[in-house]
Structure 1
């Protein structure tokens, strides 16, 4: 497997961990019905900084183990990315139940 593909797979494997750090920093939450769906609003810079601190502390304590091709900076970039790309509402719930208009 090529290095680029390996790096992409490692990054995808850390998405859930990045979401959990974001939740710990109050940057989002999981849908109550669809636990695999992370939702959030546009990130507050102060809360992002808090998420970076949480991530670095957990990495230092060994609570988060980064893959071989991922640096701390790569991981904090991933946290920002998952928060910025998170839907405001659960797309599964919207699909199943429709939007409130």
Structure 2
């Protein structure tokens, strides 16, 4: 697990792990449904199986897209906070230099 300072998990790493898990679920479902389709006795049964796969895949895709969007938004927030902290440190260092130069 990729951790940041303070023990927080990297949001992009967490999203990648969720993606891997979702893909594993999709693969498992695909194998299971393919076996059902192979044994389907009518075209209607095969079509129903195909609809199930399409619906499940669309749901997973939507959840993953939302998670990825949230992770990207959080990454941007963290980058902004890091820049703010860096700017504040730069100002503090400059103030300390001015104090020491004045002495």
Question: What's the TM-score once normalised by structure 2's chain length?
Answer: 0.29
Larger radius of gyration: 2
* Structure 1 or 2: more helix by fraction: 2
Q: Which structure exhibits the higher relative contact order, with contacts defined as CA atoms closer than 8 Å and separated by 6 or more residues?
A: 1
